[in-house]
Amino acid sequence: MSRWKRAALAALATLVVAALACLYPYLARRDAWASASWQNPWFLAALVAVPVVWYWGIFAEDARRPRLRLGTVAPLARGPRGLRSHLRDLPGVLRAVSLGLLILAMGRPVSVLREQRTDDRGIDIVVALDLSGSMRAILDAKPSDLPGQPKLPRNRRLTRLDTAKLVLQDFISRRRTDRLGVVVFGKAAYVLSPPTLDYHLLTQMVSRMTLNVIDGSATAIGDALGTAVARLRRSDAQSKVVILLTDGDSNAGSISPEYATHLATSLGVKVYTIQIGTDDEVEVEDGVDLFGQPRYVRHRFPVNPALLQEIAQETGGQAYVATDAKALADSMHDVLDKLEKTRFEASSASYEDLFPLLLLPGVLLIGLDALLRAWLLRRFP
């Protein structure tokens, strides 16, 4: 058989095997493939290796087969051919097709399932969290006060930010139909997330927050409140709420707290303020001592409870003071008990990974290749 004829037959066999291998994924999720997208498309570049493996598995194998010198092969060519001679190129075909399927599986095809719409009742909430330097202060909490509290190194104590993050994550985990957004502020205010029902994303964002992500040299309460209110400007919920978590006084920003309060009142947004801590002079971690243990010093951070009380009173909210983790969590949950939920239509979409449908035939082809080599096409030196 000529080399070109052999290559044509091998190519035809490859197409047949590939079609049969793709038949299972197609029939198993026929509708899903229409909306599929690749999550790791850069893996698909490896498909260029498939023709190389195909050529190597078919033609390069000839060089490795044992040979016998004969004067002429005419009598052998006229003789009958066995099954082994007809299937000698099949392992190379199986190997190439299986490699292609495995590469496609690594590309991770994902299908967006049908979007689901549900009729829910909820509240639109934006939490404004202080990330200024004063949040480094210590706010001790018992492990029972904070679900999911991590185990700290010896003599390490929770800061106000540590406590606020854990309470906020627990608060998010208890939401079901409330649209929740987060604003962080220090010397300026930034939107971490607009109001959303994607609680998993919010939890991940909050868990990664640190004091050095923004400039925390000052506290812009007015900017924080104005930014949070702006995220609720187009909300159609009956209850629109800003929960302001801070431990200091307003000493920066381009918007005064009084004007931001006026904006909240005009838009019907209630502001609930939660003052974290009470003392002007608090303990702050200041490096480690000679034995590697955390060292704590007293530091003064001004607080302005009168300002927080005024903001809450003007907007129809309420002011809270949280001296520990339990009081902080109780304050946040008490806010929800005072509000009327709004009925709204929520939409959500789920995703389905399709790569197992490609992985299964790929693994089966590898197994078939190994079986053929070990049984039907076994070679002896």
Question: What is the per-residue pLDDT across 168-212, written as a single tens digit (0 to 9) for each?
Answer: 998 898 887 888 999 999 999 999 999 998 899 999 999 989 988
The answer to whether the CB of 360 falls within 8 A of the CB of 67 is no
Residue 153, helix vs strand vs coil: coil
Q: Identify which of 229, 122, 127 has the alpha carbon closest to the alpha carbon of residue 169.
A: 127
The residue type of 121 is R
pLDDT at 83: 53
pLDDT at 155: 65
Crossing angle of helices 90-106 and 355-374, in 10° steps, is 160
Q: Are strands 269-276 and 319-322 parallel, antiparallel or unpaired?
A: parallel
Q: How far is the C-alpha of 128 from the C-alpha of 9, rounded, in Å?
A: 68
CATH of 118-347, one of 1.10.10.60, 1.20.120.450, 3.40.50.410, 3.40.50.11820: 3.40.50.410
Q: Are strands 179-185 and 189-196 parallel, antiparallel or unpaired?
A: antiparallel
Backbone angles phi, psi at 156, to 5 degrees: -85, 135
Q: How far is the C-alpha of 179 from the C-alpha of 342, rounded, in Å?
A: 11
Q: How far is the C-alpha of 37 from the C-alpha of 194, rounded, in Å?
A: 26
Q: Which positions of the chain have pLDDT values less than 50?
A: 79-80, 119, 143-144, 344, 380
Q: How far is the C-alpha of 58 from the C-alpha of 91, rounded, in Å?
A: 8
Backbone angles phi, psi at 290, to 5 degrees: -65, -20
Q: How far is the C-alpha of 379 from the C-alpha of 67, rounded, in Å?
A: 12
At which residue do the structure tokens 């985990």 appear? 173
Q: Give per-residue burial for 112-139: e unless 16+ CB within 10 Å, then b.
A: eeeeeeeebebbbbbbbbbbbbbbbbbb
The number of helices, as runs of H, and strands, as runs of E, in the chain is 12, 13
Give Cα 357 distance to the centre of its chain: 24
Decide: pTM greater than 0.75.
Answer: no
pLDDT at 143: 45
Q: According to CATH, where is 3.40.50.410 located in the chain?
A: 118-347
Q: Are strands 124-130 and 116-122 parallel, antiparallel or unpaired?
A: unpaired
